[in-house]
């Protein structure tokens, strides 16, 4: 992974074995990660997993208990935030209410000169253009919507032309619709400036939508650092599989490993044997008696007896087939998310038309992703 990383661009920000303790609490636990220049990198995870502390360590609001933070290869130990060339946007917009929007943005320049040949006013206008608020300079921040205020906060953070933009849950105070719009704007601004951006959110959907890579954090450290697609399709751990979306995660015991690249697994909590394809990693190939965990995404489960499921068909030959019963359904608009009882276990599927009662569920062994193996 490291070799691939090196060929993919310069390292802008690096954490090397970084730990942060507060008394007995380890907020950040021996984290090593590298963020590429120009990358949109997101720290995502549940409340308390250490996202904000990690960001504060990068910003310089906190110093690590141990380990090193580097910017462009050089340690920033002891360098205060204002000398780190970072722009920071927090959850609360924290605009100054007694200043106009333009003055707020200009305030961002207080500690820095505008780029050469550009006046302060020109720089402010340029930034308000960038965040798509060209006519807002004379307005009172409180007359703006939450999303607009957050864009002003971004303009203010970007005013001095920082190397790195740090965003801590900048959208969490906004309603869902506004959040979706703002995240498209944040992404556009980031790619227009090609600025290295480190983003903190607890919202996995937002993280997948906006990022080049995400670090899924649990208990003070990332469990997986990868592109959104990889995290979604090939979660490295059970935690990642369950956090990133609606994965069906099962554990069981391998009963047959004689076919190349395929396992038969007796799933816990019932007597069904399911077949799962293994990834092409001979070193990690499980053998009979091993305990494994695997996951199947809801959209990969086909439900027969339901009209117009995602791929509506009874399980074709070669597929795993099982019987389950509808327990509950949530109408989401485009699809309905249905929870099925399967013995003592639960399955989540997505269907277009309502289903009820007993159903047959099928899935291709190919769509089962093995996430963990414990040898006998």
Are β-strands 248-256 and 262-267 bridged in parallel, bridged antiparallel, or unpaired?
Answer: antiparallel
Give me the count of residues in the chain.
Answer: 376
Quote the least distance from Cβ 258 to ligand ATP, whole Å: 45
Q: Output the six-digit token pair for 213.
A: 């890579």
Among 245, 231, 162, 171, which residue's Cα sits nearest to residue 201? 171
**Of 21-29, 77-85, 263-271, 307-315: span binding ligand ATP (CB under 6 A):** 21-29
Q: Is 65 in the site for ligand ATP (CB under 6 A)?
A: no
Which of 5, 9, 17, 22 contacts ligand ATP by CB under 6 A? Answer: 22
Gyration radius of the chain over CA positions: 24
State the residue for tokens 């006046």. 119
The contacts of residue 108 (CB under 8 Å, 6+ apart) are 87, 155, 156, 157, 158, 159, 160
Which of 50, 160, 162, 309 contacts ligand ATP by CB under 6 A? Answer: 50
Widest distance between CA atoms in the chain: 75
State the residue for tokens 């649990």. 218
Quote the least distance from Cβ 249 to ligand ATP, whole Å: 22
Quote the least distance from Cβ 50 to ligand ATP, whole Å: 4
Which of 31, 35, 51, 147 contacts ligand ATP by CB under 6 A? Answer: 51
Quote the least distance from Cβ 89 to ligand ATP, whole Å: 15
Cβ pair 81, 161 in contact under 8 A: no
Q: Is 49 in the site for ligand ATP (CB under 6 A)?
A: yes
Which of 1, 3, 24, 47 contacts ligand ATP by CB under 6 A? Answer: 47
Tell me how far apart the alpha carbons of residues 192 and 60 are, in angstroms, rounded to a whole number. Answer: 26
Q: Is 300 in the site for ligand ATP (CB under 6 A)?
A: no
Percent helix, strand and coil across the chain, each to the nearest 5: 25, 35, 40
- Partnered with residue 48 across adjacent β-strands are none
Which of 42, 52, 149, 300 contacts ligand ATP by CB under 6 A? Answer: 52
Q: Is 69 in the site for ligand ATP (CB under 6 A)?
A: no
Q: In this complex, which beta carbon is closest to ligand ATP, that of residue 22 or of residue 331?
A: 22
**Of 46-54, 245-253, 261-269, 308-316: span binding ligand ATP (CB under 6 A):** 46-54
Q: In this complex, which beta carbon is closest to ligand ATP, that of residue 128 or of residue 153?
A: 153
Q: Output the six-digit token pair for 287.
A: 């053998």
Quote the least distance from Cβ 112 to ligand ATP, whole Å: 28
List the beta strands (DSSP E) in 257-335. Answer: 262-267, 273-277, 291-296, 302-304, 320-331
Q: In this complex, which beta carbon is closest to ligand ATP, that of residue 179 or of residue 350?
A: 179
Q: Is 48 in the site for ligand ATP (CB under 6 A)?
A: yes
Q: In this complex, which beta carbon is closest to ligand ATP, that of residue 196 or of residue 201?
A: 201
Cβ pair 361, 311 in contact under 8 A: no
CA distances from 214 to 201, 230, 296 (A): 10, 10, 21
Quote the least distance from Cβ 28 to ligand ATP, whole Å: 7
Q: Which of the residues 156 through 215 are near ligand ATP (CB under 6 A)?
A: 202
**Of 20-28, 102-110, 180-188, 350-358: span binding ligand ATP (CB under 6 A):** 20-28
Q: Output the six-digit token pair for 376.
A: 């006998």
Q: In this complex, which beta carbon is closest to ligand ATP, that of residue 25 or of residue 325?
A: 25
Cβ pair 212, 40 in contact under 8 A: yes
Q: Is 53 in the site for ligand ATP (CB under 6 A)?
A: yes
Q: Is 218 in the site for ligand ATP (CB under 6 A)?
A: no
The contacts of residue 36 (CB under 8 Å, 6+ apart) are 5, 8, 9, 10, 11, 12, 196, 212
Q: In this complex, which beta carbon is closest to ligand ATP, that of residue 169 or of residue 364?
A: 169
State the number of binding residues for ligand ATP (CB under 6 A).
12
Quote the least distance from Cβ 321 to ligand ATP, whole Å: 41
Task: Write out the residues near ligand ATP by the rule CB under 6 A.
Answer: 22, 25, 27, 45, 47-53, 202
């Amino acid at each position: 992974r490291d070799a691939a990383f090196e060929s993919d661009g310069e390292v802008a920000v690096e954490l090397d074995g970084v730990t942060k303790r507060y008394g007995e609490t380890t907020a950040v636990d021996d984290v090593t990660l590298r963020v590429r220049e120009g990358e949109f990198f997101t720290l995502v995870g549940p409340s308390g997993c250490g996202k904000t502390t990690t960001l504060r360590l990068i910003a310089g609001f906190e110093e690590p208990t141990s380990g090193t933070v580097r910017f462009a290869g050089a340690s920033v130990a002891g360098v205060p935030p204002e000398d780190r060339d970072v722009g920071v946007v927090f959850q609360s917009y924290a605009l100054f209410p007694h200043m106009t929007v333009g003055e707020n943005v200009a305030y961002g320049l207080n500690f820095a000169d505008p780029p050469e040949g550009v006046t302060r006013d020109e720089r402010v206008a340029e930034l308000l253009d960038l965040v798509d608020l060209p006519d807002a300079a004379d307005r009172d921040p409180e007359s703006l919507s939450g999303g607009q205020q957050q864009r002003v906060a971004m303009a203010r953070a970007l005013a001095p032309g920082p190397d790195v933009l740090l965003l801590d849950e900048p959208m969490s105070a906004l309603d869902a619709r506004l959040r979706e719009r703002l995240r498209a704007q944040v992404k556009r601004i980031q790619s227009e400036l090609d600025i290295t951006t480190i983003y903190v959110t607890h919202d996995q959907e937002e993280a997948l939508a906006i990022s080049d890579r995400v670090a899924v954090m649990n208990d003070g450290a990332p469990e997986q650092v990868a592109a959104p697609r990889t995290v979604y399709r090939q979660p490295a751990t059970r935690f990642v599989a369950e956090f990133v979306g609606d994965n069906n995660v099962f554990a069981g015991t391998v009963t047959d490993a004689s076919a190349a690249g395929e396992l038969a697994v007796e799933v816990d909590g019932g007597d069904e044997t399911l077949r799962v394809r293994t990834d092409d990693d001979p070193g990690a190939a499980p053998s009979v008696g091993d305990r494994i965990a695997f996951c199947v995404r809801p959209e990969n489960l086909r439900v027969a007896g339901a009209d117009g499921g995602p791929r509506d068909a009874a399980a074709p030959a070669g597929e795993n087939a099982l019987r389950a019963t509808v327990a509950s359904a949530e109408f989401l608009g485009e699809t309905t998310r249905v929870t099925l009882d399967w013995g003592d276990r639960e399955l989540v599927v997505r269907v277009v038309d309502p289903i009820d009662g007993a159903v047959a569920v099928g899935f291709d062994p190919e769509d089962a992703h093995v996430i963990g193996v414990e040898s006998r």
